Amino acid sequence: MHALVTGGGGFLGRYIVEQLLDRGATVRVLCRGEYPELNALGVEIVRGDVRDAETVRKATEGCEAVFHVAAVPGVWGPWQRYYSINVQGTENVLAACRSAGVTRLVYTSSPSVVYDGKPHVKADESLPYPDGDSYLCHYPHSKAIAERLVLEANGAHGLCTTALRPHLIWGPRDNHLIPRLVQRARSGRLRQVGDGTNEISMAYVENVAAAHLQVGDQLQPGAAPCGQAYFINEPEPVLLWEWVNRLLTTAGLDPVRKTISAGAARRVGALLEGIYTLFRLPGEPPMTRFVASQLSQSHSYRIEKAERDFGYRPVVSVDEGLAKLEPELRALAQK
């Protein structure tokens, strides 16, 4: 198979690339940065931006399958930035797939596309998209628009599409979630939001990458995954703050002891959003309404649909994943 991975130099994208290479696939990556480690693996690198339609078209030529992972994450920033990368970038990928005769497209989405401000406890894919005005930040809103475009494109021009929604991806080489968590703990700025009873689903990165390949294998006209979205995470949820403290103690740090109520955190988030907007402050607020809700509410999801439709199965256990992550945790705690 000749496959394109957009965002293949990123956290999840690189694991997808490596697993494709392990299968003997020919892999091309569309990315903005330089990744000598991918060149050393024999990966073809196309430097460019998903917002550039011509670059995306050239990167897609000759490919049978596309794994569209590239996106701008985060909880703060102008709508146009999120829209141009997450939505218009996806439109460019879809147009390139049609032009190049690609037959399989796997889109990396997020459970936040269906977040309606309420707790989700072992929810399934029957959750509807909320109204556009209900989103608390631009990332989930833009990802929801893009996901719908991908699923609506299924079946046109011989293209089979699907969307995966991994929840809270963690593991070695994470350059976002784990480093920020450890840094805040070390600086004494980490606080438990809420009463600590909220459960969440986690997704180990190698398992998420494997899910992309597993569903990609099944994409052919009439197959169950075509035009469908799937939650991807570990089978059993965890209590968020117990999990955070497990990570911190593994790193050799003290567990979180300071707390703030969910209501207070949300009020602080709303205030900070207003201040950052009014005064056009750089960076992002240390708390937002979206972050307060994510840290205090339950967000757990069922994976039976993925298990049934394409045989999703984790390839690494939680304990194995934590053992792989431990050296990085300890190194981060010493910085």
CB 69 within 8 A of CB 30: no
Low-confidence ranges of the chain (pLDDT < 70): none
C-alpha 289/C-alpha 273 separation (Å) is 8
Domain ranges of the chain: 2-171+201-233+301-316
Return the pLDDT at 109: 98
Return the pLDDT at 335: 81
**Residues comprising the chain, all counted:** 335
Return the pLDDT at 132: 86
Could you tell me which of 111, 145, 148 has the C-alpha nearest to residue 231? 111
pLDDT tens string 159-173:
999 999 999 999 999
C-alpha 310/C-alpha 223 separation (Å) is 9
pTM (two decimals): 0.97
DSSP 232-248: ES-SS-EEHHHHHHHHH
pLDDT tens string 113-151:
999 999 999 999 999 999 988 999 999 999 999 999 999
Q: For domain 2-171+201-233+301-316, say whether CATH 3.40.50.720 is its number.
A: yes
- Which positions are annotated as active-site residues? 139
Residues 6 or more apart whose Cβ sits within 8 Å of residue 301: 111, 120, 122, 123, 124, 165, 167, 201, 231, 233
